[in-house]
Amino acid sequence: MNLPLESLPVTLDSTSVRAALPAYRDFLAGRRALLPVSPDAVGDSLTELMGADRTDGAARPTEPGTLIACTSGSTGTPKGALLRTDGVRAAISASASFIMDRLGAGPGPWLLALPPHHIAGTMVILRSLDAGFEPAVLDSSGGPFRVDAFASATTALADAHPGLPLYTSLVPTQLVRVLDSAEGSEALGRYAAVLVGGGPTPPAVVARCGELGVGVLLTYGSSETSGGVLYNGEPLPGYSVEIVDPDDAGVGRVALRGPSVADGYRVTCSLDPAVAADAFPAPGVFCTSDLGRVEGGVLTVLGRADGAVNSGGLKILPEQVEAAVASVGLACCAVGVPDDEWGEIVAVLVESGGAESAAGTDCTASLRARMKDADVASHLIPRRAFTTGVLPLTGPGKLDRRTVRGVLQELVRGTSGD
């Protein structure tokens, strides 16, 4: 019998997570249909996810044992990946098997340091419950990630479970900040495994973890796959990775196959059927928007096929940044460039029309101030900006992003010590 879908407002504090645990347990038992959301989630996106194809505003009945995982929305409205209890449990089991095989660590409690309404945070909660432990929570109360709080929470977790392996999951930006602190590095060393995902982790950061003996596992996956299903580029047991339409260098779109792939998207009324068909070409297969290649059975992700910038786990569309810059009266081309802390940052080349500013002049401070004064959303304000006389084009009105990316990488590299 289908049940009404329940929205589950949950935030990164112990009281909120603890109140939500019965619902998560019911999902693992196949008794409940859930949509974890941020407590401030409102508006058309939530209404559409709850009601899906209905026009009367009511929540569409949903099969019990369903979890709606909100996608990042990098291509627009979150579509809501349809995950099932059996698939999520398969992902949890595969993760545990990989960790036991590679690190020799068995079940243990988890520290939640990521937003619980995102798939990475949801999976931390579910992994801990599946292992028989209530997850510990790094209380943020809406504030920024603090290394001292991470260290304190780690100590409390270790004291509560002496002798047991500890686990946590971080995004690369958090990992960098933890490593930059002696207190944080010591805390990190207490974990049997630290899952790191949500964006690229610089090799130098991985090397630092190795020097400290930290069992870091770089994860790759998405809401559509029930979180990470490749660790350090290798598929978990029961999963495989394929490259779709590879070029001569073996580079193509990354497709993931396995038991935890979503059944599709909940939101279909406003979704082009071709989009869903492209994302899920066959049962148990999800075709990502990433470009990559496989060598020796190990996947290397090279970038986003759709051009979205992944900065600290947040996916930002260049076109949205360009529109935001245009709102303050300037034309630009936005791209992602590598960054040791954020994985990627948004940088822009701003057209000056050949006037005043010389090409390559750093205009970061003035542009950021101008956009802040205009109340532009913070994630749409570029972190670096430089001028150019005329933006390069590949055709009428089509920005030459490849050329711009090369120019900006050189400019950012040349001023990184400023």
Sequence-ordered list of residues with C-beta below 8 angstroms from that of 338, at least 6 positions apart, any chain: 200, 202, 344, 409
- Pair 150, 266 in one domain: yes
pLDDT of residue 74: 41
Sequence-ordered list of residues with C-beta below 8 angstroms from that of 206, at least 6 positions apart, any chain: 216, 218
- Pair 259, 331 in one domain: no
| Average pLDDT rounded to a whole number, residues 260-268 | 87
Q: What is the CATH number of the domain that holds 180?
A: 3.40.50.12780
pLDDT band for position 5 (50/70/90)? confident
pLDDT band for position 291 (50/70/90)? confident
Return the closest-CA partner of residue 321 out of 238, 382, 367: 382
For residue 393, the enclosing domain spans 309-415
- Pair 195, 314 in one domain: no
Return the closest-CA partner of residue 6 out of 47, 52, 50: 50
Of residues 19 and 398, the one with the higher pLDDT is 19
pLDDT in tens, 338-378: 998 899 999 999 998 755 456 789 999 999 999 999 999 99
Of residues 307 and 255, the one with the higher pLDDT is 255
Q: What is the CATH number of the domain that holds 367?
A: 3.30.300.30
Domain boundary among 245, 280, 303: 303
| Average pLDDT rounded to a whole number, residues 26-34 | 94
- Pair 280, 338 in one domain: no
- Compute the distance between CA of residue 79 and CA of residue 70 in angstroms, rounded to an integer: 7
pLDDT band for position 47 (50/70/90)? low
| Model confidence at 381: pLDDT above 90 | yes
* Most confident residue range from 81-85, 303-307, 358-362: 81-85
| Model confidence at 162: pLDDT above 60 | yes
DSSP string of 177-193? HHHTSHHHHHHHTT-SE
Measure Cα distances from 244 to 123, 286, 324, 350 in Å: 28, 11, 34, 35
| Model confidence at 121: pLDDT above 90 | yes
Of residues 239 and 42, the one with the higher pLDDT is 239
Q: What is the mean pLDDT of the chain?
A: 88
Domain boundary among 303, 331, 360: 303
| Model confidence at 54: pLDDT above 80 | no
pLDDT in tens, 167-209: 999 998 899 999 999 999 999 999 999 999 987 788 889 999 9
pLDDT of residue 211: 93
pLDDT band for position 49 (50/70/90)? low
- Compute the distance between CA of residue 342 and CA of residue 314 in angstroms, rounded to an integer: 10
| Model confidence at 56: pLDDT above 50 | no
At position 359, the amino acid (one-letter code) is A
- Pair 225, 277 in one domain: yes
* Most confident residue range from 51-65, 185-199, 295-309: 185-199
pLDDT band for position 87 (50/70/90)? very high
Number of domains making up the chain: 2
- Pair 34, 100 in one domain: yes
Which residue reads 């599709």 in tokens? 264
| Model confidence at 55: pLDDT above 50 | no
| Model confidence at 297: pLDDT above 50 | yes
| Model confidence at 333: pLDDT above 60 | yes
Strands 314-316 and 309-311: antiparallel
pLDDT of residue 396: 54
- Pair 254, 347 in one domain: no
| Average pLDDT rounded to a whole number, residues 271-277 | 81
Of residues 390 and 315, the one with the higher pLDDT is 390
pLDDT of residue 45: 57
- Pair 19, 133 in one domain: yes
Question: Which tokens hold the place of 139?
Answer: 């209380």
- Compute the distance between CA of residue 210 and CA of residue 154 in angstroms, rounded to an integer: 20
pLDDT band for position 44 (50/70/90)? low
Domain boundary among 283, 303, 323: 303
- Compute the distance between CA of residue 288 and CA of residue 221 in angstroms, rounded to an integer: 9
- Pair 289, 396 in one domain: no
Residues 129 and 236 sit within 8 Å (Cβ to Cβ): no
- Pair 157, 190 in one domain: yes
Residues 95 and 152 sit within 8 Å (Cβ to Cβ): no
pLDDT band for position 395 (50/70/90)? low
- Pair 55, 179 in one domain: yes
| Model confidence at 57: pLDDT above 60 | no
- Compute the distance between CA of residue 286 and CA of residue 8 in angstroms, rounded to an integer: 26
Per cent of the chain over pLDDT 70 is 88
| Average pLDDT rounded to a whole number, residues 103-122 | 95
- Pair 181, 206 in one domain: yes
- Compute the distance between CA of residue 335 and CA of residue 348 in angstroms, rounded to an integer: 6
Of residues 68 and 200, the one with the higher pLDDT is 68
